[in-house]
Amino acid sequence: MTVAFVGRTDVKDPGAAQEQWERVARNRERLYAEDQQFCAARPDAGVAEQARRPGLRIAEVMATVMTGYAMRPALGERASEVVTDPVSGRAARRLLPYFSTVTYQELWDRARALAADWHHHGSAPVRAGDFVCVLGFASIDYTAIQLACIHLGAVVVPLQTSAPASQHAPILEETQPRIVAVSIESLGTAVDAVLMGTAPQRLVVFDYEPRDDDHRDLYDAATARLTDAGSPLVVEVLADLVERAAERPVPPLHVASDGEDPLAWLFYTSGSTGTPKGAMFTESLCVGSWLAQSDQPVITLSYMPMSHLIGYGYVIMTLANGGISYFAAKNDLSTLFDDLALARPTTLSLVPRVCEMFFHHYLGDLDRAVIGGADPDEAAERLRTDIRQRVLGGRVLAVGCGSAALSPEIKTFMEAVLDQHLLIGYSSTEIAGGMLIADEHVLRPPVIDYKLLDVPELGYFTTDQPHPRGELAVKSARFMAGYYKRPDLTATMFDADGFYKTGDVMAQVGPDQLRYLDRRNNVIKLSQGEFVAVSRLEALYSTSPLLQQIYVYGSSARSFLLAVVVPTDVAVSQAAAQGTALKTAIARSLLAIAHEHRLNGYEVPRDFLIETDPFRHDNGLLSGVGKFLRPKLKERYGARLEQLYATLAADQIDELRALRAGGRDQPVVATVARAVQATLGLDAADVSLEARFPDLGGDSLSALTFSRLLGDVFGVDVPVGVIVDPTADLLSIVGYLERSRAGDTRRATFASVHGRGATAVRATDLTLGAFVDDRVLQTATTLPAPTADVRTVLLTGATGFLGRFLALEWLERLQAVGGTLICLTRGTDHADARRRIESVLDTDPALLQRFRELADDHLTVLAGDVGQPRLGLDDDTWDRLTAEVDLIVHPAAHVNHVLPYEQLFPVNVAGTAEIIRLAITDRLTPIHYVSTLGITAVAGHLVDEDADIRYAVPTCEVGDGYANGYGVSKWASEVLLREANDLCALPVAVFRPGMILADSRFAGQLNIPDIFTRLLFSVLATGVAPRSFYRRSADDVTPRYEGLPVDFLAAAMAAIGPTTGEAFDTYNTTNPHDDGISLDTFVDWMSDAGHPIRRIDDYDEWLARFETAMQAMPDRRRRQSLLAVLDVYRQPLPATAGSPVPGERFRAATQLAGHEIPHVSRQLIDKYLSDLVLTGLL
User: Would you list which residues are annotated within the binding site?
Assistant: 308, 403, 429, 504, 516-519, 525, 627, 799-802, 826, 836, 891-893, 931, 966, 970
Q: How many CB atoms lie within 10 A of CB 141?
A: 25
Q: Are strands 179-183 and 131-135 parallel, antiparallel or unpaired?
A: parallel
Assess contact for 742 and 758: CB atoms under 8 A: no
Assess contact for 1071 and 1042: CB atoms under 8 A: yes
> What separation in angstroms does the CA of 595 have from each of 589, 682, 726, 987?
10, 15, 14, 45
Per-residue DSSP letters for 335-387? THHHHHHHH--SEEEE-HHHHHHHHHHHHHHHHHHHHTT--HHHHHHHHHHHI
Pairwise CA distance, residues 1175 & 1178, whole Å = 8
Return the DSSP state at 525. E
Q: How many CB atoms lie within 10 A of CB 445?
A: 11
Q: End-to-end CA distance of the chain, in Å?
A: 52
Q: What is the CA radius of gyration of the chain?
A: 31
* Three-state DSSP state, 64: helix
Assess contact for 43 and 294: CB atoms under 8 A: yes
Pairwise CA distance, residues 318 & 312, whole Å = 10
87: Cα within 13 Å, side-chain hemisphere: 5
Nearest to 94 by CA among 214, 184, 237: 214
Assess contact for 912 and 887: CB atoms under 8 A: no
Q: Known binding site for AMP: residues? A: 308, 403, 429, 504, 516-519, 525, 627
Per-residue DSSP letters for 1056-1095? HS-SSSS-EEEEEE---------HHHHHHHHHHTT---EE
| Angle formed at CA 159 by CA 154 and CA 163, multiple of 5 degrees | 165
Pairwise CA distance, residues 294 & 6, whole Å = 6
Return the DSSP state at 1159. P
Per-residue DSSP letters for 270-317? E-SS--EEEEEEEHHHHTHHHH---SS--EEEE-S-TTSHHHHHHHHH
Per-residue DSSP letters for 767-818? -GGGTS-HHHHHHHTTSPPPPS---EEEEE-TTSHHHHHHHHHHHHHHHTTT
Partners of residue 348 on adjacent β-strands: 399
* Three-state DSSP state, 267: strand
The residues, ordered by sequence, that sit 6+ positions from 107 with a Cβ below 8 Å of its Cβ are 66, 74, 75, 140, 143, 144, 147
| Angle formed at CA 598 by CA 594 and CA 599, multiple of 5 degrees | 60
Per-residue DSSP letters for 444-500? TTTEEEEEEE-BGGGTB-TT-SSS-EEEEEEEES-----BTT-HHHHHTTB-TTS-E
Pairwise CA distance, residues 783 & 791, whole Å = 19
Pairwise CA distance, residues 54 & 50, whole Å = 9
Kindly state the helix (H) or strand (E) to which residue 501 belongs, with its residue range.
Answer: strand 500-510
The alpha-helical segments, DSSP class H, found in 920-1038 are 935-939, 949-952, 964-984, 1011-1022
388: Cα within 13 Å, side-chain hemisphere: 18
Q: How many CB atoms lie within 10 A of CB 227?
A: 12
The alpha-helical segments, DSSP class H, found in 794-921 are 801-815, 830-841, 845-858, 875-884, 901-904, 910-919
Q: Known binding site for NADP(+): residues? A: 799-802, 826, 836, 891-893, 931, 966, 970
